[in-house]
Amino acid sequence: MSSEYHHGNLRTAIIERSLAIIADEGVDALSLRAVASELGVSHAAPRHHFANRRALLTAIATEGYAELGSRTAAVRDAGGSFLEAGLAYVRFALENPAKFAVMFDPTLVDHSDPTFAAAADRTLAVLQASAARHHADADAAALAGWSLMHGFSALALSGALAQAGFAPKGVDLVALAARAASLLSAAPPGEVPAGTPHPHGEGGTP
């Protein structure tokens, strides 16, 4: 094993190099052997920390959920809105595309891993708690918010938003996500939202 790495930091180096490989070449290019080769350590060295490729990907996903949960919890604890929590989700995805790609692919990770399950459950709990502070139907709101922000993130990272003309070069994607989310709750032009008193009485004419 290269003297550059000690037992404590080889694990971190393996994860960081794996993320670089995924970002540059895609997850299919990742293998323990490829990571070891790039780090200049023996092919057996990564197995001291990860039994196989799936264990490595599960660790990456766990780290991603822990970071995402911390970010959304920080928004909640600061009294931020449900929308702000959603935008923290988008920022995480845009800043960590390799982690994001691994986290939500059920074929890559071991969902029975207790550390992974705890990190994922905590993140979902934060999302639901944030929704509950602003909406009576917290479960539906959490699902709607997650679907919107996850879908937006996936479209942005795949290049589909740009290809469709929604995100020209240089656009602030987080601001675009906020704009899109706010429009979904707005009434169509000329329509009075349900429960809003009409300014001209029940008849609706001037």
Lowest mean pLDDT among 44-58, 108-122, 125-139: 125-139
Taking alpha carbons only, the member of 146, 135, 130 closest to residue 181 is: 146
- pLDDT score for 135: 86
CA within 13 Å, CB half, 50: 25
- pLDDT score for 21: 95
Q: What is the pLDDT of residues 128-164, one digit of tens each?
A: 998 898 888 989 999 999 999 999 999 999 999 999 9
Of all residues in the chain, the percent with pLDDT exceeding 90 is: 73
Lowest mean pLDDT among 18-27, 32-41, 182-191: 182-191
Q: What is the pLDDT of residues 166-199, one digit of tens each?
A: 999 899 999 999 999 988 654 445 544 444 444 3
Q: Are 150 and 89 in contact (CB under 8 A)?
A: yes
The mean per-residue pLDDT over the stretch 70-77 comes to 94
